[in-house]
A and B are shown apart, each in its own frame.
Chain A
């Protein structure tokens, strides 16, 4: 990570002058930004809270489809993320770095968060696809549909080249059907387990025939490999093709709005908490059906639920959220650290932010399997926790002397008083008593050991980044 501070990202809907908003509104808005975005400083929270929670929700949702607007992040356009050397063409590292930076800098955090969600929902891994361009094209497709229509997204993903390679759609033909995509389309993308039969899988696989990839990794449709016979899917018989499977699964399931519930529950599990309350899922599914699968309508229903903004449930930030959010709040980038060794003129680059994210268990563009990252308590194991601590310690070391001096000056030179200032930067309104006590004891011991004020100031930042308060959302 370069020690370069980039300009603070502007959040949508920030007013120029602010009256102190009520405490409850601040708390709800803080939670909204960390759950539906990548966090916000206390200043940003206060500005948004002054206009009210509902307005903050609408401001987050106000993005137009990515392909219809100029990209604000020209610096982070796909072109600059393109591999610069031959060897990088076979690695996703430049794109992982590019995406983390994009999450950190975007003006539309909910769009980027949804893109991350859909990457998890339609989990596709580079290790099998082996084409960085196809992975990137899928990422663009997911971003473009991030807040669009789920039906259109389902249809688009079926002929997405990376998906065709990943789930063997490219080998699925009339004379030799391959069940892989048919099964995962129903089990993981739309219906969930036990809402279809093995026979439905077989028939759907037949309907999906025709799409394949050419030698350049482009999706192509060949009528001659499509099985145009009758298929019976979920009880409905016809000469179904790929788009028909999506329509049947979404509209004609004999048990009703199964897909709406499945997608709502999965999305709530990611944005909100594992095992969301049935009433929350019900409200989301109802909004989804009423809007003919408008993603924003369903997300809005979630964000406006009182459980979401004010309930007792918690989850653990996903590694990408944790890393990108920290870069965002401390105005840092994921640009690799140049490593020069004495006597070795050639520079190497160490992608430490990408590596940190991988070590925490989330390698972007490389989910562990077709079901994506499970999330929730799965992020808490010793290897992942150690990686989080080590990231916090590294950021504590890498944050610029300037930033440390600014904080220390504002605390009138007293490291003990830097905690509230760092909390302000990180959007932490309060701390658990145990966290406060542990940091207090650290400072006492550091004072006794006569460490430098700068070291202590960095230590406080490290501990705040490693705290449960900052890792939970």
Chain B
């Protein structure tokens, strides 16, 4: 992608008087002195992409080298010639609508971790999603794995440390004390009654009162969450208003969400972690009309991430990882779709990634009791790589409650 012309650029003032220069999405370029880096993770940024509904991993990283793929997916299998071949594999390749990702893979910017799941797989969307988001296969804690990271690591000078693009806050970003903030869009993340930059304005007086509602002492945990949110909202809106393009439309695609996330991560607010999400993967029926489109949207978003990270001037600071609550059944169902499954591949993307295939592709014939794939990588092995190898502030074992005897090992996908 070429540099935007100067006429497309706009100037925007950010907090501290520094000037940020940015172009309309997806390219965003930050100039000027960075000042003291408020990010305690040494400037390293994590973007998590959530694929909701259970992404069909078998039709994402296609195991064309196993004949069972074609036998068990009579209507859903891609033809061997449709699969995008990877230069270092003769058994797995990418779905036809992941062309941009394939190029990034060949440029060694993508790690594909195969067969990720957990033991005693749970086929419920909600339980499995909770397991992934809390980081606990026992499903016995209510905070998220990244929320616990926020709880236990120093906030430094950060105003906002973690952001979810959208109007829901994923459990992964919920901590006991520190949680991420949900930001649906830049232009929508404003006070209806006006910005309150002027301390003598009526909106400012109202916002101050709202901020002080959070002075209440209420023992009830739900009430406590409301009060924390009141407090976080005023400070987050005040901070993020300064970043926003007032003309920006709410993100329409996953790529738009990624652009917005990178803009937040590269701002001077000290955002370390961002999450974006795409739903619609629960394809019990007519998967062939749905799934390729979803992968196109993912493909565009991953490509946007690499471009936007490069445009910050510090592409090595940005790591992206994808996940979904589970993959799908090997054998297609009777409605040209697939039922809930288990292990699936996930992607890690960025200049910091040592590109290539990791883990092992599970066998399509040596299945578990529910005719599902047997995982080869535990999802906590991926998390611990991210926590210990990337964020590096709190030992992964402390966040995940893992012990040396658990037989979990980092996946060496970081350079």
Give residues in A with beta carbon < 8 Å to B.
168, 171-173, 175-180, 183, 187, 193, 198, 273-274, 312-316, 359-361, 368-371, 376-387, 389-390, 393-394, 397, 432-435, 437-439, 441-442, 445-446, 449, 451, 455, 459, 462-463, 466-468, 471-472
Contact = CB atoms under 8 A, between A and B. Distances in A.
A468 B213 contact: yes
Given A368-B168, A386-B189, A393-B193, A438 B233 contact: no
A422 to B, nearest CB: 14
A361 B167 contact: yes
- A interface secondary structure, majority: helix
A380 B182 CA distance: 10
B216 A468 contact: yes
Nearest to B192: A390
Given A312-B220, A393-B193, A386 B200 contact: no
B209 A439 contact: yes
Contact of B223 (A387, A439, A468): A468
28 contacts: A172-B335, A176-B333, A178-B333, A178-B335, A180-B339, A193-B122, A273-B220, A314-B218, A316-B223, A316-B225, A316-B226, A369-B279, A371-B126, A380-B228, A382-B169, A382-B189, A383-B166, A383-B189, A386-B191, A390-B192, A393-B193, A397-B193, A432-B213, A434-B212, A442-B206, A445-B208, A455-B202, A459-B205
A381 B226 contact: no
A437 B184 contact: no
B168 A361 contact: yes
Nearest to A317: B226
Interface string B196-230: 00001010011011101111111111110111111
Contacts of B217: 434
A198 B123 contact: yes
B381 to A, nearest CB: 25
Contact of B210 (A176, A198, A377, A466): A466
Interface in B306-323: none
Given A180-B339, A382-B237, A435-B216, A377 B206 contact: no
B85 interface: no
A175 B334 contact: yes
B284 interface: yes
B226 A390 contact: no
Contacts of A384: 167, 182, 229
Given A383-B182, A468-B223, 7 more contacts: A171-B285, A171-B337, A179-B333, A382-B237, A385-B226, A394-B192, A438-B215
B369 to A, nearest CB: 8
A387 B192 CA distance: 9
Given A383-B184, A387-B167, A442-B206, A178 B284 contact: yes
Contact of B124 (A193, A389, A466): A193
A168 B229 contact: no
B36 to A, nearest CB: 25
A172 B208 CA distance: 56
A196 to B, nearest CB: 11
A381 B206 contact: no
B189 A380 contact: no
